[in-house]
């Protein structure tokens, strides 16, 4: 699958709704751990470090769309990208989580960004 195909799938309504039903952050992370699409994307990031930067750029692009496009909030898509970065490229995840927290206004993405920041701080300590 090409990177653009991953973007198309992860940003589709079908992808977003399947993760929008979860009742808590731990279930979201558990569900994302089991997602084949995300497992494949994580593998691709692990093989090509440049992809982490492209995904970071994609997160920034989606964040700029959140307020103007009401048909999709992209919350679960952004959370999925952040989850993949956190698993495969923690430094990129830290930078992405800072941008997400700066924008705010999203549910799972913001919670996951807080979680990433906390875990990075714990690891540093």
Partner 1 sequence: MRLPWLSETTDKPTHNYTRSGWRIPQLNLWDIYTDPNKENPALVSIRTKALIQEMRANRKTSPAMRPSSSTLYNCVGLIFCSRRGHVDIRHIDAILRQDGYNEISLDECVAGDLVLYTFEGAPSHIASVSCVHMFRNDVTRLSVLSKWGKAGEVEHDHDQVPAHCGVPTAYFSTRLNHVT
Q: Does 17 bind partner 1 (CB under 8 A)?
A: yes
Report, in Å, the least distance between residue 48 CB and partner 1.
Answer: 29
Helices (H), 11-73: 13-20, 25-34, 36-47, 50-66
Q: Which of 79, 96, 110, 116 binds partner 1 (CB under 8 A)?
A: 110
Q: Which of 60, 111, 117, 119 binds partner 1 (CB under 8 A)?
A: 111
Lookup: tokens for 97: 């989580």
Minimal CA–CA distance to 112: which of 26, 37, 52? Answer: 26
CA distances, 48 to each of 54, 85, 108 (Å): 11, 12, 27
Contact 76, 108 (CB under 8 A): yes
Q: Does 89 bind partner 1 (CB under 8 A)?
A: no
Q: Does 30 bind partner 1 (CB under 8 A)?
A: yes
Q: Does 65 bind partner 1 (CB under 8 A)?
A: no
Report, in Å, the least distance between residue 61 CB and partner 1.
Answer: 19
Report, in Å, the least distance between residue 78 CB and partner 1.
Answer: 14
User: Which residue reads 């701080």 in tokens?
Assistant: 121
Instruction: Using CB under 8 A, list all residues that contact partner 1.
Output: 13-14, 16-27, 30-31, 34, 70-73, 75, 104-107, 110-111
């Amino acid at each position: 699958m090409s990177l653009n195909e991953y973007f198309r799938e992860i940003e589709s309504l079908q992808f977003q709704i399947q993760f929008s039903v979860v009742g808590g952050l731990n279930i979201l992370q558990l569900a994302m751990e089991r997602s084949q699409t995300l497992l494949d994307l994580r593998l691709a990031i692990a093989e090509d470090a440049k992809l982490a930067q492209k995904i970071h750029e994609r997160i920034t692009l989606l964040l700029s769309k959140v307020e103007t496009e009401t048909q999709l909030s992209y919350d679960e898509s952004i959370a999925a990208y952040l989850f993949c970065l956190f698993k495969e490229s923690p430094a990129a995840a830290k930078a992405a989580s800072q941008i997400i927290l700066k924008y705010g206004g999203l549910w799972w993405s913001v919670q996951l960004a807080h979680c990433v920041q906390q875990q990075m701080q714990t690891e540093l300590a």
